[in-house]
Structure 1
């Protein structure tokens, strides 16, 4: 029979790690289940990315995040979160994917698939989901999207020097990629469904990109969308319905990301019209005992939840879990 934990935390990103630290300090037994590596989303960020926020706002567990500059980069963040996990001795099972969560008499049964391909079960009185959203891109649903010359993630410019690259999207990820590719010697064209760049662009990125478009260094087609992707070109449709072929060696479809909570499908979670989960002030869902912290519960508002506020979600949730478990240690199992 598997061990019964007080809390099973799904996701070892910064918010999941903050939750684990809070559980440890509250004396709760816990396990962190992560389908990739620790802070896998940050690992998937562009190689030379610099964070928008300052290092103190990325700290967890009161561990100082010391950097040479005001805003840390990806490499510094990876190092910081690894060191925190090591110093705290956190119980993390990497490369262990949660495939389904079921309600059980004493709490929840969590089905997992481990690195070696074997299935397993973890039992917990409470479950906290901290999976974020970055590993689930918004798909275009067009022919050629799954081709080898297409990616929903941008890494770095070097492999694309001298090549024609199409960037689909107008948000911060697309803008950052377009500028970095151009500086790396790629011939960049942006295809944007809207009539202009997104208003939420980072304040220092917008003028840079606008100037590059104005001077012709980066080409941009607004009120347009890619409808097919081929090995040597993409088919672009204008707002009036006409189409044209845009020569392209590689395409970055950077159209955003959404949380993937399919492993919770058995629980029938209540949602708002914008697809955000209905959560209480402690980030408990409509299923008693299931908490969703960070951006995972905010499908329609992922641009409003970051590490900075997600880490506080974790603290509030753990405090409520501690209160619930203390009150029910000698009472009946969680009712549903």
Structure 2
């Protein structure tokens, strides 16, 4: 079996940034991605626009040239595909990694769910968090008209749509659905929309609520979902009600795959789910196994984005190649 210097698990922006850094270092690497390149972005709502400006989600020093300040989903997909092609990145697509296993000789075996096995000296996990939705654990959550992912509005025109959550994804979906003739209700456990909602969306959604065009149930949680309706409870009064719901989107966030991290031997905080890693090198408690990007965030996914996650790649490459040690030695010598 061929032994790579490094295997990168995950072909999103941070995984691609990692591949670019390793390619620049002349290392033999392989990117394994469970879908196609930047699969998570492909699954974003089709009209989504990034919160970060285009230059903040660039990778590899390649300018992200667009006419607007902020990129949309399609522009990002095109950009990352072109960057991957420019650097001739080495990747294998549609390989769903099940676990990694460190061998007695210090190398790693990487197991795909389809039976594939790969071997490398080092491993970098850059799997993000979009694959694992936060579950409400309520009856009916698994019904076919319920989803944790919103795509586009056209299927839902002239139907009753309930959105659970008060962050960006819920607000953006509500506005788009309303403008495509859906009857929209937002259910949120807090007293108002989250403060991190994109600033340009806030006056729009609040005006639509004021006009009665988007309905809200604040201070409310979901208790049960049935075909055509769902039960919610007001946290202040304790009263419950059933509301019409032809379709339900549970847009309450996502989490890194803690089960994959555990199967790789990484220690997790039992409460925050934050994995054990060195904050300078991003190496985990398993020597030679690194984390890159939002996979290291645990439940605090709002703290790591493409714009700061992409920077992990250079630090990891420095540690793997020994550049980090050489930099310290050079500094000492200058002193």
TM-score range, shorter chain: over 0.9
TM-score by length of 2: 0.92
Q: CA deviation at 1:264?
A: 3.0
- Give the 5 Å matches for 1:1-336: 2-104=1-103, 105-113=105-113, 118-239=114-235, 240-272=237-269, 273-280=271-278, 281-323=280-322
Contact (CA 8 Å) 2:262, 2:268: kept in 1 or not? no
How many residue pairs match? The answer is 322
Q: Offset at 1:324? A: 8.3
The 8 Å contact of residues 188 and 221 in structure 2, kept in 1 or not, is answered as yes
**Is the 1:163–1:186 contact (alpha carbons within 8 Å) kept by the matching residues of 2?**
yes
Unmatched 5+ stretches in structure 1:
328-336
Alignment RMSD, CA only? 1.7
Looking at structure 2, the residues matched to 290 and 6 of structure 1 have their Cα atoms a distance apart, in angstroms, of 12
- Unpaired segments ≥5 residues, structure 2: 327-335
d(CA) in 1 for partners of 2:257 and 2:62?
30
Give the conservation status (yes or no) of the 8 Å contact 1:101–1:264.
no
Deviations 1:81-100 (A, max 9, x none): 11111121111111001001
Structure 1 segments, 4+ long, off by >4 Å, are 324-327
Deviations 1:129-157 (A, max 9, x none): 11110111101111111111111111111
The 1:77/1:267 distance shift into structure 2, 3 A limit, reads: closer
